[in-house]
Amino acid sequence: MQTTPTPPTPPENLIWQKATDDENAPEYIEVAFGDDGNVYLRTNTEPDNVVITTRVKWDAFVLGVKAGEFDHFVGL
């Protein structure tokens, strides 16, 4: 029988930042940068569902966004 691994628990001292300046946005992503070098992401509608990535991968993603590599997703 295969068991599903338990995902790591994010640190409790994270400072979550809204990834929008729209005060009326009903749903948005929040990002937190941990002292452990990880980046934590969640939506405001499911705050217990946290995605964890590394700072290196996050920085590569941000560079890709700035370079327009994901523009084809706009409007989906």
Q: Does residue 62 sit in helix, strand or coil?
A: helix
Residue 7 lies in a domain: no
Separate counts of helices (H) and strands (E) for the chain: 1, 4
Do 15 and 32 meet the contact criterion of CB atoms below 8 Å apart? Answer: yes
pTM for the predicted model, two decimal places:
0.81
In a domain, 24, yes or no: yes
**How many domains are there within the chain?**
1
76 inside domain: no
- In this predicted structure, what is the pLDDT of residue 3? 77
- pLDDT class for 2, splitting at 50, 70, 90? confident
Query: Domain containing 40: what range?
Result: 17-70
pLDDT at 76: 63
Say which residues have a Cβ less than 8 Å from residue 22's Cβ, sequence separation at least 6. 28
CA distances from 53 to 1, 37, 63, 66 (A): 28, 9, 15, 19
**Digit-coded pLDDT (tens) for 18-36:** 999 999 999 999 999 999 9
